[in-house]
Amino acid sequence: MIALLLVVLVVGGAVFFLSRGNKSNRQIESDNLQDSIAEARRWIERLGSQVLTISGTDAASTQAIADASERYNAASSQISTATTVRQAELARESALEGLHYMNAAREIMGLPAGPELPPLEGQRQAGKVTENRTIDFEGQQITASPHATPDTPNYYPGGMVAGRPVPAGWYSEPWWAGALRSGLWTAGSVFLFSSLFNGMSGVGYSAHAFESGFDKGYTEGLAANGGDGGGDIGDVGGDSGDDGGFFDGFFGGDGGDGGGFDFDFDF
C-alpha cells in the first residue's frame, strides 16, 4: 500500500510540474507575441502620422508618399490579423518600408532628417545605385540614379524581392514590380540586372549572385567581386504605382513593397 501511494505521489507530482511548465511556455509565447505586436504598432503609428500630414511637392515625392501610404495600409491590415510573432514582424517590416519611402520624400522636399530606422531584411546586402546609368532593354530605355530626377521618379529602398536583391535607388521604371506582385522573375531579369549594375561600385555582387539570391550564388558573387554588398544604404530614397503594361508584363502594376531612415516629427 505504501509503495502504491508513493507511485501515485510521484506520478501526480510529475503531472503537476509538467502542467506548470506548459503554462509557463504558453505565457512566454503570449508575452512574445504581445511584445512583437506592440513593436509593430509603434512603427505603424509613426508611419501613419507622417503619411497623413506630409504632401509631396513634385512627381517623385508625391509618388514616394503614395507608396508609403500603401505600405501603411498593408501594415495596418497585417497587424490587425497577426496571431504569431512572425506575422507581427511582417507588419513591422511593412511599416519600416513605408518609412523608407517617407524618408525619400523628405529628402526631395528638403525636410530635416531624423533618427535612423532599423535596416530592412536584405537591404544592406542589396547595395545601392552609385552612378547614373541608362541601358536599352527590349527596345526601351531604363535609367538608374542615386537621386530623384524627372527621368527617375521611382524609388526602391533596397532589399529582397521574390528571393533576389534589388539595389536601393531611383529608377525610370519599377523593373522589380512584376516579381513583387507575382513572386516570380522573368528570364530577362538577369540580363537586365547585369546590364544595369555590372561594375557599379555600390553593387558588389554579380548577375549570377542576383539570380541565386542570397544563398550560395550570392556569397560566391561577393567573393568574386571582392565586395560587401554595397555597404551602407546611404541617401537614396518611391516606386511607381502603375507601369501601364510596360514590356508586356515584365514590369508589374504595383511597385509598392519597398521601405532606411525615419523621421519622427510631430505635426
Note the pLDDT tens digit of each residue in 196-247.
999 999 999 999 999 988 554 444 444 444 444 444 444 444 443 344 343 4
**Cα separations in angstroms, 266 against 11, 53, 194:** 60, 9, 43
On the question of pLDDT at 47 being above 70, the answer is yes
pTM above 0.85, yes or no: no
Are 162 and 245 members of one domain? yes
Are 206 and 90 members of one domain? no
Are 16 and 88 members of one domain? yes
In the chain, the number of structural domains is 2
pLDDT-derived band at 80 (thresholds 50, 70, 90) equals very high
Contact (Cβ atoms closer than 8 angstroms) between residue 56 and residue 109: yes
Q: What is the reported pLDDT for 235?
A: 45
Are 85 and 189 members of one domain? no
46, amino acid identity: R
Beta bridge partners of 41: none
155, amino acid identity: Y
| Exposure string for 159-196, b = 16+ CB within 10 A, e = fewer | bbbbebbbbbbbbbbbbbbbbbbeeebbeebbebbbeb
Q: What is the average pLDDT score of the chain?
A: 81
Of 115 and 95, the structure prediction assigns the larger pLDDT to: 95
Q: What is the reported pLDDT for 157?
A: 95
On the question of pLDDT at 258 being above 50, the answer is no
On the question of pLDDT at 15 being above 90, the answer is no
Are 128 and 244 members of one domain? yes
Residue 192 falls inside a structural domain: yes
Structural domain including 28 reads 2-109
Domain boundary among 109, 144, 167: 109
Are 151 and 34 members of one domain? no
Give the Cα-Cα-Cα angle 221, 145, 235 (nearest 5 degrees).
Answer: 85
Domain boundary among 78, 109, 140: 109
Are 140 and 212 members of one domain? yes
Q: What is the reported pLDDT for 16?
A: 66
Are 41 and 8 members of one domain? yes
Are 144 and 193 members of one domain? yes
Which CATH number belongs to the domain containing residue 96 in this structure? 1.20.5
